[in-house]
C-alpha cells in the first residue's frame, strides 16, 4: 500500500516536472518576436512593455497583471478566429494550460511571495509573446504566398 502511494506520488511529481520543463522549452526555443511586432502594433498589445516594467520593482504587479490578462484575451480571440490557427498545435494547447496554471500561481503568490508573483508575470508575458510571434509568423507566411 505504501509503495503504491509512493509510486503514484513520484509519478505525479515527474508529470508536473515534465509539463513545466516542456512549456519552458517551447517558450525558449521558438521565440518569434520579430514577427510579433506586427501583431503587437495592430492590436495595441502591451506585453513587450510589461516585460520591461517587470524589471522595475516599484511597479504595482496588479496593474501589470490586468494588462497581461487583457493581452491574453485579445490573443485568444485572434487565435480562435484565425482560420490558419484553428484547432491549434499541441504546443499551443500546452501553453494555454500553462498560462492558466501560472495565472492561478500568480493569484496565490501575489500577497505572500511577490518575487514569485513577478516570475509568474514574466512567464505569462513570454507565453503571450510566443502566441503573438507565432501569429505574426503565420501572417507573414500567408502574405508571402
Residue with cell 482560420: 83
Whether residue 109 contacts residue 13, with contact meaning beta carbons closer than 8 Å, is answered with no
Chain-centre distance of CA 27, in angstroms? 8
* pLDDT (0 to 100) of residue 38: 67
- The residues, ordered by sequence, that sit 6+ positions from 64 with a Cβ below 8 Å of its Cβ are 50, 53, 54, 121
Q: Name the DSSP letter for residue 110.
A: T
C-alpha cell at position 43: 492590436
pTM for the full predicted model:
0.85
Q: What is the pLDDT of residues 54-100, one digit of tens each?
A: 887 778 889 899 999 998 998 888 888 775 555 668 888 999 999 99
Amino acid at each position: 500500500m505504501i509503495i503504491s502511494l509512493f509510486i503514484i506520488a513520484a509519478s505525479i511529481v515527474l508529470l508536473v516536472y515534465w509539463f513545466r520543463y516542456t512549456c519552458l522549452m517551447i517558450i525558449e526555443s521558438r521565440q518569434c518576436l520579430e514577427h510579433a511586432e506586427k501583431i503587437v502594433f495592430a492590436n495595441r498589445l502591451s506585453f513587450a512593455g510589461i516585460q520591461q516594467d517587470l524589471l522595475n520593482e516599484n511597479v504595482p504587479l496588479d496593474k501589470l497583471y490586468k494588462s497581461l490578462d487583457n493581452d491574453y484575451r485579445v490573443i485568444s480571440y485572434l487565435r480562435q478566429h484565425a482560420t490558419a490557427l484553428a484547432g491549434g498545435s499541441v504546443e499551443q494547447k500546452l501553453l494555454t494550460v500553462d498560462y492558466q496554471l501560472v495565472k492561478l500561481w500568480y493569484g496565490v503568490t501575489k500577497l505572500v511571495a511577490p518575487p514569485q508573483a513577478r516570475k509568474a508575470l514574466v512567464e505569462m508575458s513570454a507565453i503571450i509573446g510566443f502566441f503573438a510571434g507565432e501569429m505574426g509568423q503565420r501572417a507573414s507566411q500567408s502574405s508571402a504566398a
